[in-house]
Amino acid sequence: MFTEFTDFEVRITDAPYRTSGGLIWPGTVRIVYTDPEKEKTLEEYYGYAPAEMIYQMIREGRDINLSECFIEKFSLTEYRSLQKLEAKSYVKLGAFSARRSFFNCSSRIDFSFAEFSGDTVDFEATVFARGMVSFNSASFADCSLNMSYVLFRNGNIDFANCRFGKGQISFKNSKFHTGSKDFQYTSFGDGEVLFVNTDFGDGDVSFINSSFGQGTVSFKVARFGQGKVDFHYAKFGGGEISFERTEFGNGKVDFRMAEFNESRINFNRSSFGNGEVTFEGSELKGGKLLFRKASVGEGLFSFEQALYPEAEVFFDGTDFGKGTITFQKARIRHLSLRSCQMNDYVDLRMQEAALVDLSDTVIRDIIDLTPYDSPVAIRTLKISGMRLPGRIYIDWFANNLPSMILSQEQATEREISEQFRILKLNFNATGRFSYEDRAYVLFRRYEALADRKERIAKNPWSALWEYPVYVFKWLVFDKIGLYATAPGRVLVSVIAFWFGFGILFYLAELLHLGHTQSAVNNPDHLSMLSQSFYHSAITFFTIGYGDVYPQGLTRLLSALEGFTGVFMMSYFTVAFVRKILR
């Protein structure tokens, strides 16, 4: 494990130094570490490896073992100059080890254009004390690179344009101080790439145009400081990608146009600061993208135009901060935002989605699904258990809303009714009263179905009366007036009842079961049919002139029609006034 310190003092003596591996170096280096803030002093001893001696090993093609050594002013650029090689010519290095070593240089520790060919390039527990560290354009073939537990006190690191093969690349538990970390255009090969528990410190971290192979890529529990984290145009080969419990600072996190292929990408429990987080235009051909129980700050969170047509994206339990969230024109097969908390504007105007799940989510601002300059094609929408202090902007017809709710697989009638109830309240709050009525009707229909099923499930014998009661409610409340939302339909039903009772009175006359009698000897010479319809009208509307009265069975029909008339006129009044008052 590296030693943290604020300053150090180097003392070189001529006493030979024997490493734990048995190598003997011509000098001993005593390094005294100081940390005034913590009032700590620590000293360690290293073998002294002059740069000239290392250059001689390189010229002779020998394996290089610098473990437990102090290396000062090492530079392959200087080596090429001494050897009169071209500035960008590769320097071949065989097996290379510098475990628990100490590199110190006032300008740059330079491994640029190194060509490693051994099994492992090992820098475990090494300290890069002063000077930026450069492995620019280095080639590692199939070597493994071990940078675990390394301390980079100068945070300016250059691994751009490096080439790796099948070996493992590990920066586990390493720490970078403030500065720029550059991994642009690096090809990481098919081995594991491990930045587990790595502390990147402050400063920009760039993986722009870098490519990862089939191996696992892990930034699990890594920590990024203040600065941009950039994976713009990065390419992943389909292996496991983990940012689980990773902490991002307040800088921009940029995965724009990244190609994930068929990877499984894990951001579970990761924490984002207040900077912008963008996956705009990124591609995921299959697999899953997981953000479960992540924490998002106050910056823009964007998946605009993301192309995940066969992938599943899960944000379940994520606490979104106060920044805007957008999935505009994205194509995602399954988007789950279950049990999330959304405090700002959410743009879900997606170009394509088989399922968007907002169950148990708390919406404090606006969710926008209304098409504007392009169609919104969401096949299924789930909002069961949603808490809606905010608003949903959605169009009944343009979004094909009933189909979005009713296409849910394995949803119960109770769950569907609850979702239409939520929509009903939402449309009332947004002043879309015609949509409110439509949602209310579907809410009551599925509520009635749920009530019937639940009661019969508790007591199977109740089916004897539950079905008749259900049919009665279906006819009276639904078909006659759409639960008092359609006064025009109630008026048509009024006319139908009047006409129906008129026919019944006429049939009673024909069958000699009763008749309507004129009290004034029928001065208008009404026919039997006309008198039946007249009697039906004055009875239905409870006018009661008394010029025509019933006899026989028509007395019972008249009483029934009188009650029906009072009920239907009240029904019409309620439906009509409800429309007018809104």
What are the C-alpha distances in Å from 477 to residues 325, 423, 433, 495, 579? Answer: 42, 20, 19, 17, 17
Distance CA 133, CA 130 (A): 9
Long-range contacts of 528-536 (CB under 8 A, 24+ apart): 532/502, 532/503, 532/505, 532/506, 533/498, 533/499, 533/502, 533/505, 533/506, 535/502, 535/505, 536/498, 536/499, 536/501, 536/502, 536/505, 536/561
* Among 341, 337, 372, 342, CA closest to 353: 337
pLDDT tens readout for residues 180-219: 999 999 999 999 999 999 999 999 999 999 999 999 999 9
pLDDT (tens digit, 9 = 90+) per residue, 465-491? 989 999 988 988 888 888 888 888 888
**What pLDDT sits at residue 35?**
73
Residues of the chain above pLDDT 90, percent: 66
Percent of the chain exceeding pLDDT 70 equals 97
Q: Mutual orientation of helices 528-540 and 487-510 as an angle, nearest 10°?
A: 140
Q: Average pLDDT of the chain?
A: 91
* Predicted confidence (pLDDT) per residue in 249-260, tens digit: 999 999 999 999
Least confident range of 200-214, 283-297, 497-511, 530-544: 530-544
Question: pLDDT grade, residue 523 (50/70/90)?
Answer: low
List pLDDT tens digits, range 58-92: 999 899 999 999 998 899 999 999 999 998 999 99
Query: What is d(CA 506, CA 534) in angstroms, rounded to the nearest whole number?
Result: 11
- Mean of the pLDDT values across residues 446-473? 92
Contact 246, 222 (CB under 8 A): yes
pLDDT band at 3 (very low <50, low <70, confident <90, very high): low
Give the lowest-confidence range in 386-390, 522-526, 558-562. 522-526
Answer whether residue 110 shows pLDDT above 90. yes
The whole-number pLDDT of residue 36 equals 66
pLDDT class of 2 with cuts at 50, 70, 90: low
Beta strands in 135-284 (DSSP E): 144-146, 151-152, 157-158, 169-170, 175-176, 181-182, 193-194, 199-201, 205-206, 217-218, 223-224, 229-230, 240-242, 253-254, 264-266, 277-278
Burial class (CB in 10 A: 0-12, 13-18, 19+), 163: middle
Show the tokens assigned to 350: 């997606």
CA triplet 17, 23, 28: central angle to 5 degrees? Answer: 15
The domains found in the chain, sorted by start residue, are 487-581 (1.10.287.70)
Statement: residue 1 has pLDDT above 60: no
